[in-house]
């Protein structure tokens, strides 16, 4: 899908008009309409409800218009036009008496579909919105592309998206923006990143584990680091997941997809930062050389970790990356994104990402940026008291703290490897995937978190 063409400047071209109404204004709007329009509205039982719409007859043969219900007709929200653009036929449209504003993004993304594997995809041609704010189009297109990239990567089956494919994707993005990519694999990975190696070593050769680093921007600009969990499939390892729990585990590289898309967004918008993006890519698989429960692995930091459960693999790969990241780059902040725990879904459901941080200012920046773009994050606690849950009898620590506060002990585990540097962790296990179609997103990957962090960086860490 080419997102570039879906929003175009309004130069008075022919287009189908869209009336925007809200519940409050509905009655007076209706009263001002000619009889055939009022009849059509009634026949379609349209009453100005949010995400509802009706097709209206025009004055001349062949002419028609649309009326769409929104929460507040005076200022449109980002998703207000998503469902509408999804259901309308191919053609050009313009809003009457309203500026699309933020809703331009929803207009574009309403047309997102994942059909890489359909031999006969059901595609509707472009639905183009003509707007009076042409200066905003470019940024909207960038955001739409970033969102679509996350969704495509997360929706893609794990058989076709292993660590090698994440590497290829990083290189593709880097090439377009003259960024540098460094990949650590094989013996260098085993020596330098023992936990990433331990998690990924059972996978087939073509899906071998690796650390993917992308660096971009003027080194004099503020350094920021974005880290993604890139488990391209999480079988659970020898502590294998049951079928129902494993079914959607192609999405376990969601954090990496977010990190890649965010990197592309930051680079295309030329934000004045020095960007370090790191992805720990591995498949948590099973074979004779798989990491076992009870194995003890010496981390990059030097402390030993007892593998209590091979299914708690995300925190393992992130531990080595975080230690390396603070050691090598000493960034202003490090943010990691990870589909880390089922426990965060129990705590927050699918409506909010879990936010953990050792830095109140950073946490506030992330949280506020999330509220501003409608991707909410909820701050969760950390604290030394949780450390006793991840004490091991025979190693420096173990990777699981039991069921109580499961997402907190996971974050607490990672915190041991951030060395007190400003760090925020987003547990996106509950928000990365939508199990049903919604006006904001078709069933599948969501990309929830990309616009939050893009906004956070743009608002606080420029030059
Ligand atoms: N990738 C999963 C977490 C997950 C669960 C993401 C559901 C998305 C949806 C993670 O690697 C995992 O398996 N976590 C375990 C940890 C447990 C063994 C301590 C979990 O949450 O059950
Ligand atoms: Mn797991
Ligand atoms: Zn996982």
> pLDDT at position 17, please?
98
Name the phi and psi angles at 134, rounded to 5: -60, -25
Q: Distance, CA 200 to ligand 2 centroid (Å)?
A: 12
Over the stretch 412-423, which tens digit does the pLDDT of each residue have? 999 999 999 999
CB neighbourhood size of 202 (10 A): 22
pLDDT for 463 beyond 70: no
Q: Which atom of ligand 1 is least distant from the CA of 231?
A: 1
Model pTM above 0.85: yes
* pLDDT reading at 462 higher than 70: no
pLDDT at 461: 82
The pLDDT score that the predictor gives to residue 35 is 97
Spacing, Cα 47 to ligand 2 middle (Å): 47
DSSP-assigned states of every residue in 352-402: SEEEEES-HHHHHHHHHHHHHHT--EEE----GGGGGGG--SSSSEES---
Mark whether 315 is an active-site residue.
yes
What the block records as the tokens of 127 is: 């639905």
CA atoms of 454 and 450, how far apart (whole Å)? 6
Task: Say what percent of the chain tops pLDDT 70.
Answer: 100
437 C-alpha vs ligand 1 centroid, how far in Å? 24
Res. 1: pLDDT tops 90 = no
CA–centroid distance, 311 to ligand 2, in Å, is 4
- In angstroms, the CA 157 to CA 115 distance is 12
Largest Cα–Cα distance of the chain, in whole Å?
Answer: 83
Task: Kindly tell me if the per-residue pLDDT of 251 is higher than 90.
Answer: yes
Contacts of 422 (CB under 8 A, 6+ apart): 332, 333, 334, 357, 358, 359, 361, 362
- Reading the block at residue 299, the tokens are 């981390």
φ/ψ (deg, to 5) at 231: -80, 105
CA–CA distance, 212 with 224 (Å, rounded to integer): 16
Mutate to test the pocket of ligand 1, among 311, 397, 398 (most ligand atoms within 8 A of CB): 311
**Ligand index nearest the alpha carbon of residue 291:** 2
Neighbours of 300 (CB within 10 A): 19
Active-site choice (241, 298, 332, 376): 241
Q: What is the pLDDT of residue 292?
A: 98
- Among protein residues, the one with the nearest Cα to ligand 1's atom 5 is 342
Tens-digit pLDDT profile for residues 311-320: 999 999 999 9
- Give the pLDDT confidence of 10-57 residue by residue, as tens digits: 999 999 999 999 999 999 999 999 999 999 999 999 999 999 999 999
Task: Decide if pLDDT at 106 tops 60.
Answer: yes
414, 424, 403, 427: which is closest to 349 by C-alpha? 427
Distance 209 CA to ligand 3 centre (A): 14
Say yes or no to pLDDT of 150 above 80: yes
Strand partners, 94: 17, 130
Q: pLDDT band at residue 164, thresholds of 50, 70 and 90?
A: very high
Measuring CA to CA, which residue among 299, 282, 287 is closest to residue 237? 287
Q: Which residues line ligand 1 (CB under 6 A)?
A: 234, 252, 309, 311-314, 339-343, 400, 406, 429
What is the model's pLDDT at position 435? 96
Q: How far apart are CA 47 and CA 69, in angstroms?
A: 8
H-assigned helices in 156-232? 163-177, 186-192, 194-200
Which ligand has its closest atom nearest to the C-alpha of 245?
A: 1
CA distance 352 to 446: 13
The rounded Cα 406 to chain-centroid distance in angstroms is 22
Separation of alpha carbons 324 and 200, rounded Å: 18
Question: If residue 314 lies in a helix (H) or strand (E), which one and from where to where?
Answer: helix 314-329
Tens digit of each residue's pLDDT (9 = 90 or more) over 367-389: 999 999 999 999 999 999 999 99
Beta-strand pair 223-234/180-185: unpaired
- How buried is 166 (Cβ within 10 angstroms: 0-12 exposed, 13-18 middle, 19+ buried)? buried
Per-residue pLDDT at 2: 82
Find the catalytic residue in 94, 315, 398, 455.
315
- 191 pLDDT band, cuts 50/70/90, is very high
pLDDT in tens, 219-243: 999 999 999 999 999 999 999 999 9
Measured distance CA(320)–CA(301) in Å, rounded: 7
DSSP state of 251: G
CA distance 13 to 130: 8
Ligand 1: which of 154, 233, 340 to mutate, most ligand atoms within 8 Å of CB? 340
User: CA-CA distance, 401 to 427, in Å (whole number)?
Assistant: 16
Query: Which of 280, 305, 318, 342 gets mutated to test ligand 1 (max ligand atoms within 8 A of its CB)?
Result: 342
Known catalytic membership, residue 241: yes
């Amino acid at each position: 899908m080419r997102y570039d063409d879906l929003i175009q400047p309004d130069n008075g071209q022919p287009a189908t008009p869209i009336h925007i109404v809200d519940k409050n204004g509905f009655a007076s709007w209706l009263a001002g309409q000619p009889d055939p329009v009022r009849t059509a509205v009634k026949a379609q039982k349209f009453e100005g409800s949010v995400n509802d719409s009706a097709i209206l007859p025009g004055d001349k043969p062949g002419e028609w218009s649309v009326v769409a219900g929104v929460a507040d007709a005076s200022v449109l929200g980002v998703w207000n036009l998503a469902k509408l653009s999804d259901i309308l036929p191919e053609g050009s449209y313009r809003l009457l008496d309203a500026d699309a504003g933020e809703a331009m993004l929803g207009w574009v993304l309403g047309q997102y579909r994942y059909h890489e594997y359909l031999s006969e995809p059901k595609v509707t041609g472009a639905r183009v919105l003509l707007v009076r704010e042409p200066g905003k189009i470019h940024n909207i297109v960038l955001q739409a592309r970033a969102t679509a990239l996350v969704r495509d990567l997360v929706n893609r089956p794990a058989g076709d998206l292993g660590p090698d494919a994440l590497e290829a994707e990083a290189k593709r993005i880097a090439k377009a923006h003259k960024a540098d990519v460094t990949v650590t694999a094989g013996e260098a990975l085993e020596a330098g990143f023992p936990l990433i190696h331990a998690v990924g070593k059972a996978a087939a050769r073509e899906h071998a584990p690796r650390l993917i680093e992308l660096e971009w921007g003027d080194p004099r600009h503020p350094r920021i680091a974005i880290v993604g969990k890139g488990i391209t499939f999480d079988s659970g390892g020898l502590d294998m997941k049951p079928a129902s729990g494993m079914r959607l585990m192609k999405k376990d590289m969601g954090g990496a997809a977010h990190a890649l898309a965010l990197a592309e967004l930051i680079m295309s918008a030329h934000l004045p930062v020095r960007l370090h993006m790191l992805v720990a890519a591995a498949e948590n698989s099973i074979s004779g050389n798989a990491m076992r429960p009870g194995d003890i692995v010496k981390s990059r930091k030097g402390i030993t970790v007892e593998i209590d459960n091979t299914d708690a693999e995300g925190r393992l790969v992130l531990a080595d990356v975080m230690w390396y990241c603070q050691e090598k780059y000493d960034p202003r902040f490090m943010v990691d994104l990870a589909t880390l725990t089922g426990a965060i879904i129990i705590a927050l459901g699918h409506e909010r990402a879990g936010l953990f941080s050792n830095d109140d200012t950073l946490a506030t920046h992330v949280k506020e940026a999330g509220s501003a773009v409608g991707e909410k994050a909820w701050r969760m606690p950390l604290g030394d008291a949780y450390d006793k849950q991840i004490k091991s009898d025979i190693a420096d620590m173990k990777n699981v703290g039991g069921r109580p506060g499961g997402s907190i002990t996971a974050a607490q585990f990672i915190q041991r490897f951030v060395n007190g540097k400003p760090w925020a962790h987003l547990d996106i296990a509950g928000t990365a995937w939508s199990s049903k179609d919604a006006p904001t997103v078709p069933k599948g990957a969501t990309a929830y978190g990309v616009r939050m962090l893009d906004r956070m960086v743009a608002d606080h860490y420029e030059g």
